[in-house]
Amino acid sequence: MKYIIVGILVFLMLGCKKTGERNVTYFGGQIINPETNYVLLLKDEKVLDTLLLDENNQFLKKISSLQEGLYTFKHGNEFQYIYLAPSDSVLVRLNTWDFDQSLVFSGKGSAKNEFLINLFLQNEKEENMMYQNFDLNEQDFQAKIDSLSNDRFAIYNDFFATEGTVPKGFKKLANIAIYFPLYRLKEIYPIFYKSVYNLEEFPEVSDSFYDFRNELSLNEENLVSFYPYQNYVVSYLYNISYQLKESDSIKNDLTVNMLNAINEHIKAESFKNLLLKRILINDFLKSESACHINEEALQLFLANCTNKEDVELVNNLVNDCKYIPLDEPLQDFEIVSYKNVSATINELIKNKDAVIYFWSAAYMSVDYLVSRIKFLENKYPHLLFIGINMQTSPQDLDLESSVKLRNIPNQYLLPKDSDAHKYLSSKYPRTILIDHLGMVKNGFINLDSKKLDSELEKLNLNE
């Protein structure tokens, strides 16, 4: 089956040559075990096209006048990068059960993308290994970084020697993919070293330890969506913000420090807005109860973010959290089973310690949800777990996902006219904890929050 689409592509390429279409680009492929019936093509985090899968789970897109550069393709909750240039004809083939490891490129332009994905996988493996070396002194840690750098530079040279002429934009991207993950390790080294040895103060590093910063730009708007670049910038901002927190007792709010650092160092408007939103929402969602609002951080965000959609999203989150006060009864709302049987939430949770989790496939995979809930149900058998899909129709889920949901009990949908929508305006998943007296004990916490366990322990013990 995998040869069918190759034949189609060859036919199309020959057709282009005959008709003189020299700048036409093709992007296509096949998804094994698809989670949805489409693939999204994005650039700079904006969706350019929705590519539907056919009966063989294949897709093909003809693109005229393509802008050369980095793109993203997304299927389900997974994504990967692809570098496209005019006249490229790149195919991807992957299995969703092992998205990155199974990904294979073919066709004209595939070598660049094979290089990137192999580098991505190598970075992931080496970074996990490097976490074992944060107890080393500066000189020994730098030696590890230098060794990795030399190995990657050799791979880089071999690739360009083999490929010959490569677009200038790709060379820049390859350099970032090679070196920025190593720079990130240097940014987080003092923080982890301090933690390993339980030090009260940051370890001193030599003046030359951060010399690489002099060659970097933090305002490359065309690289905002490239994970190695964005991840380095965030780590740099975190490092300087954390050190400020440790050295100045007045500057003791890490989130506020980071928002100020973004305002000071990031001048590219779209990148600045993205980071402001990311840092504020992460702070909002990681707290024991996200209804604890960091007012200083919120005001900093509102004063400096120029993206109206981001501002609306944050305001909705704030309003959502205020709608459900602690230690008061939860306002009743209607839900519907997957068999289209109506019920109300208070009927289901009456006299029970309950965990009500609102979820959406846009934010988490069904596989993760099923695994997480099974784990929690086994750990807390006396708590009632109720899952509510914020999507309003069973048709919003593919058949495979619907089947997987049957592995966990108490699954419901939210009708369009349900009162629960009043505090779900941000569309963010939220979990609400209710005690057996019907009182709200936590109005907004995430299923993957590190503090969920302690909150469930309290509920389990009726504290």
Q: Tell me how crowded residue 316 is: count the other CB atoms within 10 A of its CB.
A: 16
DSSP letters, 29-97, are EEEES-SSSEEEEEETTEEEEEEE--TTSEEEEEESSPPPEEEEEEETTEEEEEEE-TT-EEEEEEEGG
Residue 72: give its domain's CATH number: 2.60.40.1120
Collect all residues with Cβ–Cβ distance below 8 Å to 345 and sequence separation of at least 6.
330, 332, 333, 334, 335, 356, 386, 420
DSSP letters, 316-335, are HHHHHHHTS-TTSBPPP-EE
Give the rounded percent of residues in the chain with a pLDDT score beyond 90.
61
Residue 148 has a pLDDT of 94
Residue 440: give its domain's CATH number: 3.40.30.10
Give the torsion sign (CA, 79, 81, 85, 89): negative
Among the residue ranges 76-90, 279-293, 321-335, 359-373, the one predicted with the least confidence is 279-293
Q: Tell me how crowded residue 178 is: count the other CB atoms within 10 A of its CB.
A: 20
Co-location of 61 and 197 in the same domain: no
Give CA–CA dist 48/357, Å, rounded.
Answer: 32
Residue 379 has a pLDDT of 95
Residue 167 has a pLDDT of 84
In angstroms, the Cα distances linking 408 to 375, 412, 423 are 11, 11, 25
pLDDT at 387 over 50: yes
Residue 291 has a pLDDT of 66
Co-location of 330 and 219 in the same domain: no
Q: Tell me which amino acid residue 106 is.
A: S
Residue 102 has a pLDDT of 92
pLDDT, averaged across the chain: 88
pLDDT confidence tier of residue 7, bands split at 50, 70 and 90: low
The arithmetic mean of pLDDT across residues 117-126, rounded, is: 87
Give CA–CA dist 310/312, Å, rounded.
Answer: 5
Q: Tell me which amino acid residue 340 is.
A: N
The arithmetic mean of pLDDT across residues 313-342, rounded, is: 91
Last residue of a domain, one of 55, 85, 108: 108
Co-location of 216 and 179 in the same domain: yes
Name the more confident of 162 and 348: 348
Residue 127 has a pLDDT of 87
pLDDT confidence tier of residue 108, bands split at 50, 70 and 90: very high
Residue 6 has a pLDDT of 53
Among the residue ranges 1-15, 206-220, 402-416, 435-449, the one predicted with the least confidence is 1-15
| Residue for token pair 């063989």 | 56
Asked if 443 contacts 326 with a C-beta cutoff of 8 angstroms, the reply is yes
The arithmetic mean of pLDDT across residues 184-195, rounded, is: 95
pLDDT at 290 over 70: no
The arithmetic mean of pLDDT across residues 93-119, rounded, is: 91
Asked if 245 contacts 251 with a C-beta cutoff of 8 angstroms, the reply is yes
Last residue of a domain, one of 321, 350, 367: 321
Residue 46 has a pLDDT of 87
In angstroms, the Cα distances linking 268 to 223, 233, 260, 306 are 11, 13, 15, 12
Asked if 294 contacts 281 with a C-beta cutoff of 8 angstroms, the reply is no
Co-location of 276 and 366 in the same domain: no
Give CA–CA dist 69/225, Å, rounded.
Answer: 12
Q: Tell me which amino acid residue 293 is.
A: I
Co-location of 137 and 16 in the same domain: no
pLDDT at 17 over 70: no
398 backbone φψ class: left, alpha, beta (φ>0; ψ -120 to 50)? beta
Q: Tell me which amino acid residue 283 is.
A: D
The domain tally of the chain equals: 3
Residue 1 has a pLDDT of 46
pLDDT confidence tier of residue 10, bands split at 50, 70 and 90: low
Among the residue ranges 81-85, 158-162, 386-390, 406-410, the one predicted with the least confidence is 406-410
Q: Tell me how crowded residue 99 is: count the other CB atoms within 10 A of its CB.
A: 17
Range of the domain at 293: 115-321
Co-location of 223 and 78 in the same domain: no
pLDDT at 18 over 80: no
The per-residue pLDDT for range 209-236, each reduced to its tens digit, is 999 999 999 999 888 889 999 999 999 9
Co-location of 48 and 119 in the same domain: no
Co-location of 66 and 154 in the same domain: no
Co-location of 153 and 278 in the same domain: yes
pLDDT confidence tier of residue 395, bands split at 50, 70 and 90: very low
Q: Tell me how crowded residue 333 is: count the other CB atoms within 10 A of its CB.
A: 18
Co-location of 199 and 69 in the same domain: no
Give CA–CA dist 122/6, Å, rounded.
Answer: 28
Give CA–CA dist 89/100, Å, rounded.
Answer: 20
Q: 217-236 burial, b if ≥16 CB within 10 A, otherwise e? A: ebebeebbbbbbbbebbbbb
Q: List the strands of the sheet with 25-32, edge to edge.
A: 58-63, 25-32, 89-95, 104-108
Co-location of 52 and 103 in the same domain: yes
Co-location of 139 and 265 in the same domain: yes
Whether pTM exceeds 0.75:
yes
Give the rounded percent of residues in the chain with a pLDDT score beyond 70.
91
The per-residue pLDDT for range 350-377, each reduced to its tens digit, is 999 999 999 988 788 888 889 999 999 9
Last residue of a domain, one of 75, 92, 108: 108
pLDDT confidence tier of residue 460, bands split at 50, 70 and 90: confident
Residue 211 has a pLDDT of 96
